[in-house]
């Protein structure tokens, strides 16, 4: 059994205390960097310097100083799997998703007006099938939404300074699938309203509420858990989540395939339901 007065036991205790102190300092630095990154997006090149500064500040609270010195060098800073998008990196894709949905929904109100004035009913007197008529209307809505989203992406990049990541194909997949989804939902909305005024009111209401819930207005990570679960039922959640993977985390197209599949599923279900339920009179 070792004596507490032996030199080997003393050295072992001293090293243990220093190691514990360094561990606490490192945890404090990690926590400080994580909290700072939730408030403002810290550049990758600045993270090691900020971490080291936080480490030294935490270490200064220990008194007295250790009897031995440890030389260290920061090689890398551990990355969290979920980075929170802030600033224009959140606002640009989030509000683009909201305004595109609103624009497509307002375009869907035109179908309600055509039905109210008997235009669609008169089209049925031609050899054109119901499916062709509705598909043509939807194609117009889709192209309108696609052009709107493209304009908002270019505005975000060249005016607001948003870096849309290194995966243009991933951005294109999300854009096309999202516009398809809101086209289907907008057409489905026109099935259940009777006047163009109702369609316009519901276009604003549904777009604003689902955008708020889906994470277009603020990071969905700060919402309660039950709200995050509800958000998964909105197309904005899957679009904004996918854009954040590309913009904030620097991921590639493979990371947004799940988002793409969900949006395509929403599009298919809503488009099919619109064709089946749509009334021409």
- Determine the pLDDT at residue 149: 92
Please report the DSSP string for the chain in residue order. ---TTSHHHHHHHHHHHHHHHHHHHHHHHHHHHHHHHHHS---GGGHHHHHHHHHHHHHTTSSSPPSS---------PPPS-PPP-THHHHHHHHHHHHHHHHHHHHHHHHHHHHHTTHHHHHTTSS--HHHHHHHHHHHHHHHHHHHHHHHHHHHHHTS-----S-HHHHHHHHHHHHHHHHHHHHHHHHH-SSHHHHHHHHHHHHHHHHHHHTSSS-GGGS-HHHHHHHTTSHHHHHHHHHHHHHTS---GGGGHHHHHHHHHHHHHHHHHHHHH----
pTM value surpassing 0.75: no
- Determine the pLDDT at residue 168: 86
Regions of the chain where pLDDT drops below 70: 1-14, 16-18, 39-40, 61-87, 89-90, 279-281
């Amino acid at each position: 059994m070792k004596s507490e007065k032996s030199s080997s036991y003393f050295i072992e205790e001293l090293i243990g205390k220093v190691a514990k102190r360094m561990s606490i300092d490192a945890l404090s630095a990690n926590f400080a960097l994580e909290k700072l990154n939730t408030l403002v997006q810290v550049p990758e090149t600045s993270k090691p310097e900020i971490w080291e500064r936080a480490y030294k500040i935490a270490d200064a609270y220990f008194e007295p100083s250790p009897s031995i010195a440890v030389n260290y060098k920061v090689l890398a800073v551990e990355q969290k799997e979920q980075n929170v998008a802030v600033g224009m990196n959140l606002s640009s894709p989030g509000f683009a998703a909201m305004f595109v949905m609103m624009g497509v929904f307002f375009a869907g109100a035109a179908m309600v007006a055509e039905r109210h004035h008997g235009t669609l009913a008169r089209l049925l007197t031609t050899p054109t099938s119901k499916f062709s008529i509705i598909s043509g209307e939807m194609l117009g809505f889709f192209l309108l939404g696609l052009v709107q989203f493209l304009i908002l992406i270019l505005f975000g990049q060249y005016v607001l300074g948003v870096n849309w990541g290194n995966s243009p194909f991933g951005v294109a997949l999300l854009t096309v699938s999202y516009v398809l989804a809101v086209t289907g939902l907008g057409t489905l909305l026109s099935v259940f309203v009777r006047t163009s005024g109702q369609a316009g009111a519901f276009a604003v209401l549904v777009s604003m509420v689902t955008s708020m819930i889906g994470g277009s207005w603020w990071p969905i990570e700060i919402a309660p858990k039950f709200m995050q679960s509800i958000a998964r039922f909105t197309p904005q959640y899957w679009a904004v989540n996918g854009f954040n993977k590309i913009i904030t985390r620097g991921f590639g197209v493979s990371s947004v395939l799940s988002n793409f599949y969900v949006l395509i599923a929403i599009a298919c279900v809503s488009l099919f339901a619109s064709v089946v339920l749509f009334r021409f009179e």
